[in-house]
Amino acid sequence: MSISDIFAAIRLGFSEFRIQDLLDILIIAFVIFKLIQFTTNTRAYQVIKGVAVLLLVFIICNVFNLITLKYLLNSFIVSGIVIVAVIFQPELRRALERLGRIKFNLVSRETPSFEIVNQLSRAVENMSRRKVGALIVLERNTKLGDYVNTGTVIDAEISDALIENIFEPKTPLHDGAMIIREGRIYAAACVLPLYDDPSLAPELGTRHRASLGISTVSDSITIVVSEETGIISYARDGKLVRRVDHDTLEDLLNSHFGQQERSFALFNRRKDADGKTEE
């Protein structure tokens, strides 16, 4: 094939180019971008790079008509899909959970977000000062019903006294995680999945591993108070931030509950607008 033939083929392709083709390309580009963004700093990212290399080799095989190599690659790709699905089941499940998230997560109507933030931050800082271990999960779009079922449902308003009492050593509910849903203490003494990465610092105990574990299977934010040192940490999206000070803690809580309150207000405005339209 000569250079003129290649340019002729390119011109022919552009002459038959449709708006639908542009939309198709943009959608595929967006999916690839989100896939790379989602898998960065994970095991799956290395697999994606390997798959990209295989696709490049496959294209070269088609261009040069390398029949034997193309046959081997076809066989590998068919079986490779099953192998990848088995090996990377947690990552695939996390991706599907993100796709199925609910758009609106309503904050409690009874308690304003600033009061929730005050009560929570006061409880966390008091427990930090007294070196009382705590594990508090702020549920977001991914529902944590499977983990709620492992604990005791409370469904009470948030107060610093109640939080400190729940995590007080030797009380019935102190061991395990508290789950906060829609601006209320929904459950306590819940069992969370543990993060099993061997590279994790050895001084991090079960609470920190549990906070990382739940952050890898959901979009929750988990606040941890170390029983040994009193250090406050939080985990989100599989990452742990340690030595959280007062301002950082309040910013984190304000961001979470403020966003929930804005979602609730937006949901109400849309309902009101729909009601006026129906009238």
Two tokens at 2?
A: 């000569």
Q: Which of 61-70, 89-98, 184-193 has the lowest mean pLDDT?
A: 89-98
Q: Residue 152 in 3-state DSSP?
A: strand
| Residue 87 or 122, more confident | 122
The amino acid that residue 202 corresponds to is P
Q: Which residue has the tokens 């099953």?
A: 82
The amino acid that residue 156 corresponds to is A
- Which letter does DSSP use for residue 216 in this model? H
The Cα 265–Cα 253 span in angstroms is 18
Q: What percent of the chain has pLDDT over 70?
A: 71
For β-strands 177-181 and 134-138, DSSP reports them as parallel
| Residue 30 or 12, more confident | 30
Q: Residue 14 in 3-state DSSP?
A: helix
The whole-chain average pLDDT of the chain stands at 79
Q: Residue 202: pLDDT above 60?
A: yes
Q: Residue 38: pLDDT above 90?
A: no
Q: Which of 66-75, 88-97, 175-184 has the lowest mean pLDDT?
A: 88-97
Highest mean pLDDT: which range of 10-14, 18-22, 32-36, 104-108: 18-22
- Which letter does DSSP use for residue 182 in this model? T
Q: How far is CA 141 from CA 94, 173, 263, 274, in A?
A: 13, 25, 11, 24
Q: What is the pLDDT of residues 99-109, one digit of tens each?
A: 665 444 444 44
Query: Quick one: pLDDT at residue 49?
Result: 73
Q: Which of 11-20, 36-45, 155-164, 254-263 has the lowest mean pLDDT?
A: 36-45
Q: Residue 60: pLDDT above 90?
A: no
Q: In terms of pTM, does the model score above 0.85? A: no
